[in-house]
Amino acid sequence: MLLMDPMVLSVLYIWCNLNKEVIVNFWFGTQFKALYLPWVLLGFNIIMGGGGVDEIIGIVVGHLYYFVFFKYPEEHGGPPLLQTPSILYNYFPSTPGRGSVHGGFQPPPSRSTPSAPNSPPNPPRGGRHNWGSGQTLGGN
């Protein structure tokens, strides 16, 4: 209970920094870039009567992790200062097409079904119309 809000905000902070340009929705249709979401949540919590201390702790911890794991090796050329413990690799093995400890979510490979000899090349799925393959922009 005590660490729930800071932990969620730290993970959210890391995601928002890795996806800076993603547009997120907030209350009443407010849209902004994901980079600002932790700060909006902090401000919203302060407006709603919370102290904001848990959010600030989560943002600070998330920023420290983001800097040590991503920014320091990228900008200063050093090795990553944090590594995932090997026990997590053993406990959560990588499975192709599924999320893993060191990867992210990868969609499963598409399934191609064999078609009948006289059927269209891509039969419509789920009642949708087959619009065709189209043409590449800028092609001849």
- 76-90, 100-114, 120-134: segment of lowest average pLDDT: 100-114
CA dihedral 80, 83, 89, 95 (to 10 degrees): -30
Would you tell me the crossing angle of helices 4-18 and 37-47 to the nearest 10 degrees? Answer: 140
Report domain extents, the chain: 4-91
For the stretch 8-21, pLDDT in tens is: 999 999 999 999 99
What residues contact 140, with CB distance under 8 A and at least 6 apart? Answer: none
For the stretch 38-57, pLDDT in tens is: 999 999 999 998 888 999 99
Residues 92-123, buried b or exposed e (16+ Cβ, 10 A)? eeeeeeeebeeeeeeeeeeeeeeeeeeeeeee
